[in-house]
């Protein structure tokens, strides 16, 4: 069951809860005030929900600059201090190239190619695509 913690009002990025994981989808540019609000919302939601993971989908982001890279690194650092791991998904090749060219290492951030892969990385069971389908066994 998912639950929204913040609505899509101006200056807010919706934070959805999927079990023990918070899911954030970034679309377009992230302005200073929106970034600060997102950091605060995520920190408060991690504490209030007891979440152990944060997945940030950046597939809707065309350009990553040093500001966004710093924001993502700060979110990961804050989440880590609150006992939650952060995984970035949906990174476009051009975004990866830009991050490398900018010299941004993004400490504390893990990456995955999809939300499903991020959930597996966070060791969270991924619901099957069709009802009644058997779940894969974990070793």
- Of 88, 27, 28, nearest in space to 55 by CA: 88
Q: For residues 12 and 37, is the Cβ–Cβ distance under 8 A?
A: yes
Domain assignment present for residue 130? The answer is: no
Residues 19-33, mean pLDDT to the nearest whole number: 89
Tell me which residue range forms the domain holding 76.
2-121
Domain assignment present for residue 20? The answer is: yes
- Tracing tokens 């934070």 back to the chain, one arrives at 15
Q: Does the structure show a pLDDT above 70 at 133?
A: no
Taking only the tens place, the pLDDT of each residue in 73-86 is 999 999 999 999 99
Among 25-34, 37-46, 73-82, 83-92, name the one with the lowest average pLDDT: 25-34
Domain assignment present for residue 136? The answer is: no
Domain assignment present for residue 64? The answer is: yes
Taking only the tens place, the pLDDT of each residue in 45-67 is 999 999 999 999 999 988 888 88
pLDDT value, residue 8: 41
The percent of residues in the chain predicted with pLDDT above 90, rounded, is 47
Global confidence as pTM: 0.81
């Amino acid at each position: 069951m998912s639950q929204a913690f913040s609505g899509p009002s101006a200056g807010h990025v919706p934070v959805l809860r999927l079990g023990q994981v918070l899911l954030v989808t970034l679309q377009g540019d992230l302005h200073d005030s929106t970034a600060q609000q997102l950091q605060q919302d995520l920190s408060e939601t991690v504490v209030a929900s007891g979440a152990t993971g944060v997945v940030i989908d950046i597939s809707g982001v065309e350009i990553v600059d040093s500001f966004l890279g710093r924001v993502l690194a700060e979110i990961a650092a804050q989440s880590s201090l609150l006992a939650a791991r952060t995984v970035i998904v949906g990174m476009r090749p051009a975004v990866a190239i830009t991050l490398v060219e900018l010299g941004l290492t993004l400490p504390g951030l893990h990456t995955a190619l999809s939300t499903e892969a991020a959930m597996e990385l966070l060791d969270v069971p991924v619901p099957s695509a069709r009802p009644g389908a058997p779940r894969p066994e974990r070793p």
